[in-house]
């Protein structure tokens, strides 16, 4: 019996040495040390042995199992280490390979122009104010001298949510809100950038959703010449000294007198094209002296206080500054269009 056990030990150890995978090793474990294996089989025959022989064979059988198990453990460690080494070898990184460039985004041209305009006005002592896009009819129209039924409401076709709530059609309600907050006291110098909405048909210079930047100055002895000077500084800083500006008399119910400012078209150099509707000029803002009724409705004494206001369209400004021929490029977000603005960052 001892001979048979020795034979099995030698046989099992040889197989373990030759095993080339963890699976193979496990199969050998089951085959030799398992309940149905040959060692267990030999031990089953121990009943036929004498009482003296039995402990000797039993102890020997345990030694055989221990020797096979120890060999297996050593082999298992060896195979596991080999597997780790093989994995490391297959995952070697060639640090000398050139890296893949990471594509960097850039600011949207509208963000750039709005920030540029904000910086310019902050430099002139203005503060930035904001207001809601879903606005009350009162602030969008009534507080701006546009009572219900006023024909000038047709100038801004609106998206109404209820009879009294709408998507704001301009940023001018922020003027009304800011003046109201001041409760008729003290001067104001703000700009208010934000989105506005109108039921306009989309074309090269119109969008149903666009941006505006409102400006408002309230104080004592503010004059039309202050407004003109401010707009001139703005236009020259943004467009350069060589671009022409013109102020045209206009009408807004919330300003009196009112003007519109045009800039000479960069696309055609002022000769006329589809962007400037063959006039050589593009309108970029409306402005005027704050109407006394607007000051009074917000709680200011119009005999003491006066002011000027303007509202500009950053899309049109960006079109003129960067030579963009269609406002819709700003919203379709074609990366080929957007990445052209990366170089100036």
Which residues lie near ligand FA5 (CB under 6 A)? 156, 170, 172, 198, 200, 206-207, 210, 212, 214, 252, 254-255, 283-288, 309-313, 315-316, 327
Burial letters for 96-128: b for 16+ Cβ neighbours within 10 Å, e otherwise?
eeeeeeeeeeeeebbebbbeebeeebeeeebee
Cis peptide before 154 (omega within 30 of 0): no
Burial of 18-28, coded b for 16+ CB within 10 Å and e otherwise, reads ebeeeeebeeb
Position closest to ligand FA5 via CB? 313
**In the complex, least distance from residue 256 CB atom to ligand FA5, rounded to whole angstroms:** 10
Please report how close the Cβ of residue 298 comes to ligand FA5 at its closest, in angstroms. 14
By C-beta, is 210 or 234 nearer to ligand FA5?
210
- Please report how close the Cβ of residue 96 comes to ligand FA5 at its closest, in angstroms: 53
CB 98 to ligand FA5: min, Å: 45
8 Å CB contact between 328 and 210: no
In the bound complex, what is the minimum distance in angstroms from residue 194's beta carbon to ligand FA5? 12
Which residue, 12 or 137, is less far from ligand FA5 as judged by CB? Answer: 137
Task: Tell me the two tokens of residue 130.
Answer: 């904001």
Following DSSP, what letter does each residue of 42-90 receive, concatenated? HHHGGGGS-TTHHHHHHHHHHHHHHHHHHHHHHHHHHHHHHHHHHHHHH
Q: Which is nearer to ligand FA5, 126 or 210 (CB)?
A: 210
Choice between 31 and 134, CB closer to ligand FA5: 134
Closest CA to 218 of 131, 295, 145: 295
232 is in an annotated binding site: no
Q: Which is nearer to ligand FA5, 145 or 156 (CB)?
A: 156
C-alpha span between 123 and 101 (Å, rounded):
38
Which residue positions form the known binding site for Mg(2+)?
A: 256
């Amino acid at each position: 019996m001892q001979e048979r056990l020795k034979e099995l030990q030698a046989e099992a150890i040889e197989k373990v040495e030759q095993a080339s995978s963890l699976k193979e090793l496990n199969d050998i474990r089951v085959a030799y040390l398992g309940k149905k294996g040959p060692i267990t089989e030999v031990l089953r025959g121990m009943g036929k042995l004498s009482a003296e022989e039995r402990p000797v064979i039993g102890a020997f059988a345990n030694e055989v199992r221990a020797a096979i198990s120890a060999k297996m453990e050593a082999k298992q460690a060896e195979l596991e280490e080999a597997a780790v080494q093989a994995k490391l070898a297959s995952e070697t990184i060639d640090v000398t390979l050139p890296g893949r460039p990471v594509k960097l985004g850039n600011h949207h041209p509208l963000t750039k122009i709005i920030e540029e305009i904000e910086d310019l006005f902050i430099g002139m002592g203005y503060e930035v104010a904001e207001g809601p896009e879903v606005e009350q009819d009162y602030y969008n129209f009534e507080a701006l001298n546009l009572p219900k039924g006023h024909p000038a409401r047709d100038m801004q076709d609106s998206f109404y949510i209820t009879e009294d709530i709408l998507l704001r059609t301009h940023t001018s309600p922020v003027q009304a809100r800011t003046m109201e907050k001041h409760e008729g006291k003290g001067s104001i110098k703000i700009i208010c950038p934000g989105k506005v909405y109108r039921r306009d048909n989309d074309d090269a210079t119109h969008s149903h959703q666009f941006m505006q930047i409102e400006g408002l100055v309230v104080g004592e002895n503010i004059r039309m010449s202050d407004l003109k000077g401010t707009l001139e500084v703005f236009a020259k800083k943004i467009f350069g000294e060589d671009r022409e500006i013109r102020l045209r008399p206009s009408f807004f119910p919330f300003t009196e007198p009112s003007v519109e400012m045009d800039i000479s078209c960069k696309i055609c150099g002022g000769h006329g094209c589809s962007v400037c509707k063959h006039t050589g000029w593009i309108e970029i803002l409306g402005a005027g002296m704050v109407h006394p009724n607007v000051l009074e409705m917000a709680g200011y004494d119009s005999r003491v206080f006066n002011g000027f206001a303007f509202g500009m369209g950053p899309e049109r400004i960006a079109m003129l500054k960067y030579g963009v021929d269609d406002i819709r490029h700003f919203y379709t977000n074609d990366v080929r269009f957007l990445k052209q603005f990366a170089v100036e960052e």
